Amino acid sequence: LAKTTQPISMDSYEGQEVNITCSHNNIATNDYITWYQQFPSQGPRFIIQGYKTKVTNEVASLFIPADRKSSTLSLPRVSLSDTAVYYCLVGDMGGSTLGRLYFGRGTQLTVWP
């Protein structure tokens, strides 16, 4: 399983765009990149998933360069409620590893008024 490296913490202000980068140098051909968000006293929640280039949903965008050795989660116009820990996970979406998630340390994002 590919190991991931993220900043431990980030600070932002309301209304700004936040970009969190994750490094995964030994990502495998079959691996997808998935981001989860966790609020205090809650389980993680799926944000976005991608394999290459760019993926966008109603919550965030995920940018993946051609070499796939890193990825960037982009949160547009953050609010106080986006304060949470964000986890980047890399893994094969099929086979025996399906559902077995290995979390790194995550990035604590704090949004200030």
Footprint of other proteins (CB under 8 A): 32, 34, 36, 41-46, 49, 87, 93, 98-106
The three-state secondary structure class of 86 is: strand
- For residue 111, give the amino acid letter: V
Q: How far is the CB of 96 from other proteins (least distance, A)?
A: 9
Pairwise CA distance, residues 33 & 56, whole Å? 13
Helical residues (DSSP H) of 1-113, grouped into ranges? none
For other proteins, the closer of residues 13 and 98 by Cβ is: 98
First and final C-alpha spacing in the chain? 38
For other proteins, the closer of residues 9 and 16 by Cβ is: 9
For other proteins, the closer of residues 43 and 113 by Cβ is: 43
Q: How far is the CB of 62 from other proteins (least distance, A)?
A: 14
For other proteins, the closer of residues 100 and 113 by Cβ is: 100
State how far Cα 61 lies from the chain centre. Answer: 10
Q: How far is the CB of 20 from other proteins (least distance, A)?
A: 15
Q: How far is the CB of 53 from other proteins (least distance, A)?
A: 17
Label each residue of 37-55 as H, E or C: EECCCCCCEEEEEECCEEE
